[in-house]
Structure 1
Amino acid sequence: MKQHLKAFVIVAVLAMAGLWAYSTYFASKLNQTPSDYSTIEAMEKEGVASFAMKNLDGKEFQLLDYNGKVVILNFWASWCSPCIEEVPSLIKLVKEFKGNVQLIAISGDSSRADIDVFMKSFPEMKGENIHIVFDEDRSLMKKFQVARLPESLVLGTDHKLAKKVVGSIEWYNKDSVAYIESLLKKTQ
């Protein structure tokens, strides 16, 4: 009987030590700010610094080229179902604003061939004010700390971060249109 009692006490002590270590670990995690907080905060206060990209035709352009316009940086991939679901409404939103909204669609696909197949399904992605970028080395995804797809950054006309959208949304609705209009009015 004594051995059973010793074993029980040892198991209870180990369980309490494990519970203490587990709760201490998670309590410390709760007190930390998210790693991208400072990046998000900087983009909101200082704006997104201009950077160079190449579209699918190899033409280089910069974020700076779209000063005075609302820019949507949309991170996506052809294999991502939610990304595919939001494409039609995103295209419709960009078309609604006739050049005042620019879509920079940054693909995280593994190959250019995957993007080309996708583009056959959505030929309107080759439209005006829509710029497709193949982020082959994932450098842009890393720069903006994209955790999952789709993820979008809506930049005001001053290129300060106005909204970060994680996941798929319906882009073309009265609330989204009103929101974009409010961003455009800030420059008038």
Structure 2
Amino acid sequence: MKNFKLPLILLIFYSVFSCSKKDKQTIIRGCIPNLPDGILYLYKDDSSQRIDSVKTVNGSFGIIHHWKSTSIPTYLGIDHIDQKGILRSFNFPTNANYKKGKWESQFFMSDSLILINGTIKDFNLKDIKLPEKYRLVTSPGIKAGRQTNALFNIDGDLFENVNSKTIQIIKEKIIQYPDSYHLLYKINENKNSFSAEQVEDFLKSFKGDIVGSNIYKNLDTYNNKRFNENKISLPLLENNNGSRKEIINKKFNKHLIIFWASWCAPCRQEIPVLKKLYSLYHNDVEFVSISIDTNKPSWFKALKEEDMKWKQLVINNLSEKEALQIRFKLNQAIPYNVLVDNKLKILSSFTGLSTENELEKLIQK
């Protein structure tokens, strides 16, 4: 933990002469007069992944966080614990929308200089009571660089419902922000929601150093395989007895493939509904659960607890996972349920926690 009280010019001077020229860094400096004394935490990707901290005195703070020379822009956030133990979670106003309302982002990007000045405001969520020592606060406006500017000008729900309109907007946003890692990350997360041709078109619009990044190259390599996806064979997967088995049994005409994990709460919540539907449809539709668990003991423990009567398989390596991603259009979100025929044609699919009615409609396609 560091305690900076330096003016911005000295903070920048210190940062320039105190590290290797190969280092990358993010300087975060702010003055929030109504922020109590305490400790400000910097986190990466998730509030549980704290990477730096600094004392706040009279609302002032400054952090210089160094990155490896190979690092690429990432999502950052801040929270604060005052001397009374009250945690304040920061959200930042943007120029974008979410579900047709103004969107406040939990994150900013790891630009080289971040300035946060002004007063914070508490806000309460309707019908949700927060813990006594937890506060959600709206931060004053934030001044940052190109990566944060792109993030704050792209609607938070742009990738949630992919259609011809959103595809056109995504193309326009890439042209407007051709070096945006946020856009590249979101396309990568949702790559199987687009056709191979659409992803190829997106990638061609990026410009600058981003096209030399590993995430860009890996996505390009993956997408090129999708043009010949019918030539990609399904791997044999390990079952709960340690044997390797075919994913689908062709004595059935339809197969419900359920992607889940032991640690996924919505996946576990969905299992009672799946059990009920299995009892109704197991003669006509093959049920197959495929776990993405990397911890085998946790998978076995969940299998024992849930006692699912249908085929249980687990992914063991990246090669297996990639083949399933391509053939079943699996993105990163689970639970993901997909109904296919014997030729692996996708008949219907649903991402997220499904109701009984939604799953039954999916099965009946």
Same fold (TM over 0.5): yes
Q: Percent identity?
A: 20
Judging changes above 3 Å, is the alpha-carbon distance between structure 1 residues 166 and 149 closer, same or farther for their aligned structure 2 residues? same
Tell me the residue number matched to 2:273: 89
Taking the TM superposition and a 5 Å limit, the aligned residue runs for 1:142-181 are 142-143=322-323, 144=325, 145-170=330-355, 172-173=356-357, 176-181=359-364
More helix per residue: 1 or 2? 1
Deviations 1:101-159 (A, max 9, x none): 22221112222210121122211x1x1xx111121324443331431221222213543
1:122 pairs with 303, 306, 330, which one? Answer: 306
Tell me the CA shift for residue 48 of structure 1. 8.5
Structure 1: 5+ residue stretches without partners? 1-14, 184-188
1:25 partner letter: Y
* Distance (Å, rounded) in 2 between the aligned partners of 1:109 and 1:66: 26
Tell me the CA shift for residue 81 of structure 1. 0.6
TM-score after normalising by structure 2: 0.36
* 8 Å CA contact 2:252, 2:285 repeated in 1: no
Judging changes above 3 Å, is the alpha-carbon distance between structure 1 residues 164 and 47 closer, same or farther for their aligned structure 2 residues? farther
* 8 Å CA contact 2:236, 2:244 repeated in 1: yes
Helix, strand or coil: the match of 2:283?
coil
Query: Is 1:98 the counterpart of 2:274 in the alignment?
Result: no
TM-score after normalising by structure 1: 0.64
1:180 partner letter: I
Helix, strand or coil: the match of 1:65?
coil
* 8 Å CA contact 1:56, 1:132 repeated in 2: yes
Tell me the residue number matched to 2:7: none
Tell me the residue number matched to 1:71: 255
Query: Is 1:38 the counterpart of 2:195 in the alignment?
Result: yes
More strand per residue: 1 or 2? 2
Tell me the residue number matched to 1:137: 317
Deviates more, 1:159-168 or 1:136-145: 136-145
1:25 pairs with 152, 172, 177, which one? Answer: 177
Helix, strand or coil: the match of 1:75?
strand
Structure with larger RCO (C-alpha < 8 A, sep 6+): 1
**Superposition CA RMSD, Å:** 3.7
* 8 Å CA contact 2:288, 2:311 repeated in 1: yes
* 8 Å CA contact 2:256, 2:340 repeated in 1: yes
Helix, strand or coil: the match of 2:249?
helix
Judging changes above 3 Å, is the alpha-carbon distance between structure 1 residues 139 and 63 closer, same or farther for their aligned structure 2 residues? same
2:246 pairs with 54, 57, 62, which one? Answer: 62
Judging changes above 3 Å, is the alpha-carbon distance between structure 1 residues 148 and 98 closer, same or farther for their aligned structure 2 residues? closer
